[in-house]
Amino acid sequence: MRAALLAIGLALVQAAAAAEEARLAIAANFAAPAGALAEQFSRDTGHRLAISAGSTGKLYAQIRNGAPFDVLLAADEETPRRMERERLAVPGSRFTYALGKLVLWSPKKDLVDDKGEVLQKAAFKRLAIANPKLAPYGAAAVETMKRLGVWPLLQGRLVQGENIAQAFQFVASGSADLGFVALSQIAERGKGSAGSHWLVPPSLHAPIRQDAVLLLHGARNAAAREFLAYLRSARARESIRGYGYGLQ
């Protein structure tokens, strides 16, 4: 019995010694799913994950300036591709982990109709979007408004957040009447049912392919490599779908 307990104790010590910590740079729209996935991953593997969320453009700038991140989960496909070209990421490690969906949302029950015609009527004061220069969801929002022909009408009503999380907060707090946000943000805890929203047809903007990539800093980090593999598992993909994302 004593020998068995000793063996178990030794195994636990070895497992703890093998566990590593990885730093994840996460696009703001994916912060909540990433937190849930990281928690499950850590329980299963013993590895520890530290998450920093922000706009994809800002995270890219931080990594270029030497921020010691091991993994990037971007809100687009171009940024991880660029990082591979610039030798900031491990070649061949990039893959699409989620397909983002853009929605026009308001906590007001009857403001947003199911065809987005509220944009044509402009019966509101402020419309929130993420910074289109830094955040892919913001770029998709601008593209949508231009395709609908309402861009000149609405430019003067925009409230711009640094990232999609801040754009969402502007709407949730009442600083803006409505805003373009990620479907995942209103899918979480059923926020959409408390207000009104329009799921933007994908034909109105370029696809929001969200790519993950292993950064050079994490090339030899077991936690980073294993988390990227976990993201491609059936269990993780089902969780991602549950947060309102599409899958490739």
Q: What is the full per-residue pLDDT of the chain (248 aa) written as tens digits?
A: 554 433 434 333 344 436 899 999 999 999 999 999 999 999 999 999 999 999 999 999 999 999 999 999 999 999 999 999 999 999 999 999 999 999 999 999 999 999 999 999 988 999 999 999 999 999 999 999 999 999 999 999 999 999 999 999 999 999 999 999 999 999 875 555 579 999 999 999 999 999 999 999 999 999 999 999 999 999 999 999 999 999 98
Cα distances (Å, whole numbers) of residue 196 to 38, 51, 154: 31, 31, 19
Whichever domain contains 38, its CATH number is 3.40.190.10
Total domain count, the chain = 2
- 108 in the same domain as 94: no
- Which residue bears the tokens 């009447």? 177
Q: 228-236: list long-range contacts, CB under 8 Å, 24+ apart.
A: 228/71, 228/93, 228/95, 230/37, 230/41, 230/44, 230/45, 231/37, 231/97, 232/95, 232/97, 235/40, 236/37
- 188 in the same domain as 117: yes
Position 153 in a domain: yes
Q: How many CB atoms lie within 10 A of CB 147?
A: 14
Position 247 in a domain: no
Q: In the structure, how many helices (H) and strands (E) does the chain have?
A: 11, 10
- 78 in the same domain as 108: no
CA 111, CA 99: separation in Å to the nearest integer? 27
Position 248 in a domain: no
CA 70, CA 225: separation in Å to the nearest integer? 9
Residue 52's beta-bridge partner residues? Answer: 25
Position 95 in a domain: yes
